[in-house]
């Protein structure tokens, strides 16, 4: 992935065509303790902006606050707790007066064949990856709506476009996030609010480590799931994507006068998504005769 893939346009001008105050933006980033969330806090600070970094354990954010104590606030946030969300958003308003960019980054992976996943596991994954995003977005939207300005960055995945075996839970959450976010983008554009869905491929984060959970293996699915699990675990720590460069690309996208609705990150993501859509067109052509002739006669 090349950080120069997007040029910077109008850094201190209009954000996504929406009027806003001149000067540094205020970012609100969920899941700031690791991965792309942490990298985004660093990138926004380096960009001269102000950041509200959030996590369930605020002590994990001490080094981020130390980067620029006057421009970084660390707040506790559990996206599955409505009161925690409201308190964090209120704290951000108190600290900096507004939120210009919301980054819904908090999420975790749950992999395994559908039958290997318990109902509690599935519901918990959707609670964080989907309903948590909705809860935070619902809390921040009124602030942006009143100002007729804002940008919502939804951290999806290449698996929000390209499914695969073992992804019944995680892929399901990211497909839901993509659909919700695309509809939201159409609803809020006239209010000066932009939405960008980020679709990272493999990045060197904790996704393949402590942020990843698995279902209970079943012998019937071993030949499908076991090799994929082995490959994913073996690649942990050696993924090609650099979180710092990915974060720079996201900041650059937010800077654009016309930011993209979707931003795949990494050469792998771009290649897999392109191949997926080519396959979908072929599938569409193959069933056209069967599916098209359904009108009243």
CA dihedral 182, 184, 187, 189 (to 10 degrees): -80
> Which candidate in 156, 157, 175, 181 is catalytic?
156
- CB neighbour burial string for 245-283, b if at least 16 within 10 angstroms, e if fewer: bbbbbbbbbbbbeebeebbbbbebbbebbeeeeeeeeee
Cα separation, 196 vs 259, in Å, equals 7
Neighbouring CB atoms inside 10 A of 293's CB total: 8
Residues 6+ apart with CB under 8 A from 146: none
* Residue 170: active-site member: yes
* Residue 174: active-site member: yes
- CB neighbour burial string for 145-176, b if at least 16 within 10 angstroms, e if fewer: eebebbbbbbbbbbbbbbeeebbbbbbbbbbb
* Residue 240: active-site member: no
> Which candidate in 33, 149, 174, 175 is catalytic?
174
Rg from Cα positions in the chain: 20
Tell me, rounded to whole angstroms, the distance of Cα 229 from its chain centroid. 23
- CB neighbour burial string for 99-118, b if at least 16 within 10 angstroms, e if fewer: bbbbbbbbbbbbbbbeebbe
> Which candidate in 84, 149, 157, 170 is catalytic?
170
Cα separation, 116 vs 114, in Å, equals 5
Q: Which residues are the active-site residues? A: 156, 170, 174
């Amino acid at each position: 992935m090349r950080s120069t893939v997007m040029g910077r346009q109008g850094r201190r001008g209009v954000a996504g065509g929406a009027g806003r105050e001149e000067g540094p933006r205020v970012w609100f980033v969920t899941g700031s303790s690791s991965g792309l969330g942490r990298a985004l806090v660093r990138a926004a600070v380096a960009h001269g902006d102000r950041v509200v970094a959030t996590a369930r354990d605020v002590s994990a954010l001490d080094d981020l606050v130390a980067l620029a104590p006057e421009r970084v606030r660390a707040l506790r946030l559990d996206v599955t707790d409505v009161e925690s969300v409201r308190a964090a958003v209120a704290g951000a308003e108190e600290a900096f007066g507004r939120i210009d960019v919301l980054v819904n980054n908090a999420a975790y992976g749950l992999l395994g064949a559908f039958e290997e996943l318990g109902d509690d596991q599935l519901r918990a994954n959707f609670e964080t990856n989907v309903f948590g995003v909705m809860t935070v977005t619902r809390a921040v939207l009124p602030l942006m709506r009143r100002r007729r300005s804002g940008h919502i960055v939804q951290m999806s995945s290449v698996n929000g476009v390209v499914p695969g075996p073992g992804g019944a839970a995680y892929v399901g959450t990211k497909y839901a996030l993509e659909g919700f976010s695309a509809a939201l983008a159409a609803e809020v554009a006239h209010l000066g609010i932009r939405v960008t869905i980020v679709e990272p491929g493999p990045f060197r984060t904790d996704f393949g480590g402590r942020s990843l959970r698995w279902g209970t293996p079943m012998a019937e699915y071993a030949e499908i799931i076991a090799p994929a699990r082995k490959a994913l675990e073996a690649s942990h720590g050696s993924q090609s994507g650099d979180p710092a460069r990915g974060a720079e690309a996201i900041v650059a996208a937010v800077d654009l006068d016309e930011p993209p609705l979707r931003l795949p990150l990494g050469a792998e993501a771009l290649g897999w998504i392109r191949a997926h859509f080519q396959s979908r067109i072929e599938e569409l052509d193959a069933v056209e005769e069967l599916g098209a002739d359904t009108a009243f006669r």
